[in-house]
């Protein structure tokens, strides 16, 4: 003998309420995800800003010799291909740090106590050294080299 089920009005209303809740929740989540995607894609055309400083490590060896080494901090920056980039480099240590970013055609000079701003577009993937022209080897407190990695 087949069984017959009767759905009470109360159970039907509860099931309908649950189904509507699931549909509204799914639509709301989809809307928020689409909104986030639009926000991320619109930010891609904005300039990405990085703050750098010049740093110095100084020590005295056991025989009394003073060793100074200069660096860019942070030493590596990772950007996306096609991104507009702005570097704000503040001179903390050392008097002057004239520099080039090899392969990008960017030149600048960072003075102690001042901030130098350079802009470029990361058009091609690769690794681009930021080289201080004052501190090129150990005799001059270098090499003072940082890296911009374009992915």
Assign residue 55 the CATH number of its domain: 2.60.40.420
Please tell me whether residues 53 and 39 are part of one structural domain.
Answer: no
Summary count for the chain: helices (H), strands (E): 1, 9
Mean pLDDT, residues 42-71 taken together? 86
Nearest to 129 by CA among 143, 151, 148: 148
Please tell me whether residues 116 and 80 are part of one structural domain.
Answer: yes
Per-residue pLDDT band at 21 (split at 50, 70, 90): confident
Percent of the chain at pLDDT exceeding 70: 89
Contact in structure between 39 and 45 (CB atoms under 8 Å): no
Per-residue pLDDT band at 142 (split at 50, 70, 90): confident
Q: Chain centroid to CA 7: how far? A: 58
Cα distance between residue 82 and residue 151, in whole Å: 9
Query: What pLDDT, on the 0 to 100 scale, is given for residue 135?
Result: 87
- Domain residue limits at 109: 48-150
Please tell me whether residues 10 and 64 are part of one structural domain.
Answer: no
Q: What pTM, to 2 d.p., does this model score? A: 0.65
Mean residue pLDDT across the chain: 86
Query: What pLDDT, on the 0 to 100 scale, is given for residue 77?
Result: 95
């Amino acid at each position: 003998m087949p069984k017959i089920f009767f759905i009470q009005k109360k159970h039907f209303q509860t099931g309908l309420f649950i189904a509507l809740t699931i549909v509204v929740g799914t639509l709301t989540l989809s809307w928020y995800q689409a909104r986030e995607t639009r926000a991320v894609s619109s930010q891609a055309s904005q300039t990405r800003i990085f703050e750098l400083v010049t740093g110095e490590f100084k020590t005295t060896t056991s025989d009394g010799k003073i060793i100074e080494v200069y660096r860019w901090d942070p030493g590596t920056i990772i950007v996306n291909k096609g991104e507009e980039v702005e570097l704000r480099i503040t001179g903390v240590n050392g008097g002057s740090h004239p520099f080039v970013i090899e392969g990008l055609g960017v030149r600048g000079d960072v003075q102690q106590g001042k901030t130098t701003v350079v802009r470029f577009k990361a058009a091609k993937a690769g690794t681009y050294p930021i080289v201080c022209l004052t501190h090129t080897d150990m005799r001059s407190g270098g090499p003072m080299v940082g890296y911009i990695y374009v992915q």
